[in-house]
Chains A and B, each alone.
Chain A
Amino acid sequence: GAVVSQHPSRVICKSGTSVKIECRSLDFQATTMFWYRQFPKKSLMLMATSNEGSKATYEQGVEKDKFLINHASLTLSTLTVTSAHPEDSSFYICSARVGAGESYEQYFGPGTRLTVT
């Protein structure tokens, strides 16, 4: 089946620094990838939809200047948390879309635990 990887799996950074998270589709090409944020004991919240070669579409309430998304190739999307603060600490999960129309499939990465100190 389709495999999505994320790197790093865990990252600790200091407040005020930026951190980049990579999401890769390993054995397929994905024109569309999604970035989710999961708070402790909470559901997944869609942050943005990343489209290869174009600007990401952000959900309401998500700061696009803080969470920079780049989908530079058909197998790689990156999420950069800029000027991170402790409240940005969370579990970030990406997913990649396979197929088009109503029957598309969505495959999830293993997640990245971000801790901002």
Chain B
Amino acid sequence: AQSVAQPEDQVNVAEGNPLTVKCTYSVSGNPYLFWYVQYPNRGLQFLLKYITGDNLVKGSYGFEAEFNKSQTSFHLKKPSALVSDSALYFCAVRFFLGGTYKYIFGTGTRLKVLA
């Protein structure tokens, strides 16, 4: 079955330190991979995506993600965390199945950046 896993419910990091939010997937074929951020009582905001090409993808607000095909991972990273980065982060994959494109989300990881 197709799935996306975010193994950590919450990640705490001190402001100024690097952060990593993990995502692994199990999807047949070559999926598109996405990261979204959600602030309280808000919809999802797009951060970045991987389609093909360079394994390191740069996105909004200084975030980047590294695609690792052998480990089927797409971890989100930022070199220096800000308190304002505190939010809920979702990894998602899009894949083609049964004649249509499907979109599935991970369970989300709450990032808390401590001042």
Interface residues of A (CB under 8 A from B): 4, 6, 9-10, 34, 41-44, 46, 91, 93, 95, 102-104, 106-111, 113
Contact = CB atoms under 8 A, between A and B. Distances in A.
A108 B37 CA distance: 11
Interface string B19-40: 0000000000000100010000
Interface of B: 9, 32, 36, 41-46, 51, 90, 96, 101, 103, 105-108
Given A102-B101, A103-B51, A104-B101, A42 B108 contact: yes
A111 B42 contact: yes
B32 A102 contact: yes
A93 B96 contact: no
A59 to B, nearest CB: 10
A43 B107 CA distance: 4
Contact of B41 (A41, A103, A113): A113
Contact of A93 (B44, B103, B107): B44
Nearest to A91: B41
Contact of A42 (B45, B101, B107): B107
Contacts of A95: 44
B43 A43 contact: no
A106 B103 contact: yes
A109 B43 contact: yes
A93 B101 contact: no
What 8 pairs across the A-B complex have the smallest Cβ distances?
A108-B43, A108-B44, A110-B43, A43-B105, A111-B43, A43-B107, A44-B105, A109-B43
A95 B101 CA distance: 14
Contacts of A91: 41
Contacts of A34: 103
A43 B106 contact: yes
Contact of A110 (B42, B46, B51, B96): B42
A103 B32 CA distance: 9
A21 to B, nearest CB: 13
B108 A43 contact: yes
Contacts of B106: 43
A30 to B, nearest CB: 15
A113 B43 CA distance: 11
